[in-house]
Amino acid sequence: MPVPNSQMPPAAGLPFPPSPQSAQSPPYSPSAPPSTSPSTAAAPSFLPLDQLFTNPVFAGGLGLASLGAAAAFGRRALIQGTALLRRQLLVNIEISKRDPSYSWVLAWLAQPRDNSGFIAQRLTRLRSLSVTTTTKSLSKVAGEEGNGRTHADFRVQPGFGHHIVRHKPGVYIAVNREKASTATTATGEPHETLTLTLLWMHRHVLAEVFTQAHELAQSFQQGKTVVYTARNMQWTVLGKPRLKRPLGSVILDEGVKESLVADVKEFMAAQEWYTERGVPYRRGYLLYGPPGTGKTSFIQALAGELDYSVAMINLSEMGMTDDLLAQLLTQLPEKSILLLEDVDAALVNRRQRDPDGYSGRSVTASGLLNALDGLAAGEDRIAFLTTNHIDKLDPALIRPGRVDMMVRIGEASRYQAGQMWDRYYGDVDTDHKGRERFLARLDGLGLFGGDQKDPAIPKRHTSTAAIQGLFQFHKGDMEGAIKMAEHLIPRTYEPEPPTVEGSIKSPA
């Protein structure tokens, strides 16, 4: 017997009985759309984009990320655009400290400028400065106690950092002086660079800057001779520039100085002749003779006469090698005379440092020959070699091509003594009687090589350095110089016998 639905027990596993609406079919309605079966319903999406975009947290993060990407892109575009504008509108020039113009430009930047105007006064304020101090001894005033006065010159120049300098109205130069973290291997000094930046339309100003800087440097060296020395694989200025020595202050034997000066000037005027014939444009001179005769003094005076500098190389310096010598000779400073002193003693290792007798690196004879006249030899060079013992030199060193002219600078002659007397006492000895007495005194002492007619007069010689020392000791006192002429006789020093009291005792 069928049981009514209202009396049917609940289905197993269902907590509540089914509602009457769910059990009965819905009534048919012609206007209602047909129902969709479960088999035709849309499958759920793996990535619900609608729900993500409608999520406020995700939408906010996406917006921030978009803003960050846009800001990064804009920043990159701005940097590239700025760099492009700098390349198109600005011009930079970098000067290394190794370049000679580095010190010139620094000195030029230290010059006072007209910074009148509201903008110029605020743009060109230097807040980082460095100072270079030079001192000079002044002549002592009569009655003044002590060692005299000293004049100090302080030159203020832009320090490390960024600066702006006004060159002329409407033209500004940005200056950046930097000190690099790296240093030179030889000296250990850090690298320094100086960068000048200005508008492309003002690029012609750079020529004016370097011209004015060079003229300023030349004005500092006006009437002076610059001496360079080889130090740590490069040329450096030795001390302060020296006052030019007048060529007339060096008294050589009659005609010697004139012939040397004429030969050097002829060589300087014949560069085109050397080039047309394919001959290396260089010339070497050897001055030999006893010490104190004026060899080095003449070279210094010659450099002043030609407005040249002097580049000295000490071949006996520890660490000087053949390669370093060749490199230095190919990098000589412009308009300079190369000076190699005492070449006879430079090629001898006189000091033993190790038990095996090795005395360290030094210049060999072959290295010196190749540096003077070899494949590594430079051109446009005037070289002077000096020696006290020409007999100790290798004949290959003094052959033509390496040494083109050899001149002996010997002991003081009668001509030199008379010329030196006139230079020191010419203002007081107007009738030259004092000169004749002085020369007769030297003749009697045999200081001009003796007298062949009178064997009783000894054969002696003196140097021009000794005569100059005598005259400097008796300034303005020619009578005192004549009386003390016997001090020009060369002294012979003999070793003193060892004494027990004066000896240093060491424990056995």
- Does pLDDT of 287 surpass 90? yes
Report yes or no on whether pTM surpasses 0.85.
no
Which is more confidently placed, 77 or 1?
Answer: 77
pLDDT in tens, 438-496: 999 998 888 888 666 667 677 888 999 999 999 999 998 999 999 998 888 887 766 66
* 352 pLDDT higher than 60: no
Report the C-alpha dihedral over residues 67, 69, 71, 75, rounded to 10 degrees.
Answer: 180
How far apart CA 157 and CA 145 sit, in angstroms, is 35
Judged against a pLDDT cut of 60, whether residue 181 lies above it is answered with yes
Does residue 133 surpass a pLDDT of 70?
yes
Report the pLDDT averaged over residues 241-247.
89
Side chain identity at residue 99, one-letter code: D
pLDDT tens-place string over residues 378-390: 788 899 999 998 8
Q: What is the mean predicted confidence (pLDDT) over 128-148? A: 67
Q: Is the pLDDT of residue 203 over 60?
A: yes
Q: Which among 185-194, 243-252, 349-358 has the top mean pLDDT?
A: 243-252
- Taking residue 19's Cβ as centre, other Cβ atoms within 10 Å add up to 8
CB-CB contact of 341 with 388 (8 Å):
no
341: Cβ contacts below 8 Å, ≥ 6 apart = 296, 312, 314, 386
Q: What percent of the chain has pLDDT over 90?
A: 23
80/27: higher pLDDT: 80
Tell me what pLDDT residue 26 has.
Answer: 52
What pLDDT, on the 0 to 100 scale, is given for residue 489?
A: 85
Q: What is the mean pLDDT of residues 270-298?
A: 91
Looking at residue 467, its pLDDT comes to 93
Predicted local distance difference test score (pLDDT) of residue 3:
47
If one compares 81 and 272, the residue with the highest pLDDT of the two is 272
pLDDT, position 374: 75
Share of the chain above pLDDT 70, in %: 77
What is the pLDDT confidence band of residue 185, given thresholds at 50, 70 and 90?
Answer: low
Give the separation between CA 483 and CA 152, rounded to whole angstroms: 43
Q: Give the model's confidence band at 361: pLDDT under 50 very low, under 70 low, under 90 confident, else very high.
A: low
Provide the greatest CA pair distance for the chain. Answer: 184
The answer, yes or no, to whether residue 351 has pLDDT greater than 50, is no
Q: What is the mean pLDDT of the chain?
A: 79
| pLDDT class of 146 with cuts at 50, 70, 90 | low
Q: Say what the pLDDT of residue 272 is.
A: 92
- For residue range 397-412, what is the model confidence (pLDDT) as tens digits? 888 888 999 999 999 9
User: What is the DSSP code string of 237-269?
Assistant: E-SSPEEPPPGGGS--STTHHHHHHHHHHHHHT
Q: Which residue has the higher pLDDT, 1 or 157?
A: 157
Asked if residues 312 and 238 have their Cβ atoms less than 8 Å apart, the reply is yes
Please report the DSSP string for 360-406 in residue order.
-----HHHHHHHHSSTT--SSEEEEEEES-GGGS-TTTTSTTT-SEE
pLDDT over threshold 50, residue 325: yes
pLDDT at 436: 93
pLDDT tens for each residue of 51-90: 666 777 766 777 778 888 888 888 888 888 877 777 778 8
Cα–Cα distances in angstroms (integers) from residue 330 to residues 235, 299, 311, 378, 474, in the given order: 11, 21, 12, 5, 46
Confidence tier at 187 by pLDDT (50, 70, 90): low
- Higher-pLDDT residue of 447 and 190 is 447
Interstrand relation of 381-387 and 282-288 (parallel, antiparallel or unpaired): parallel
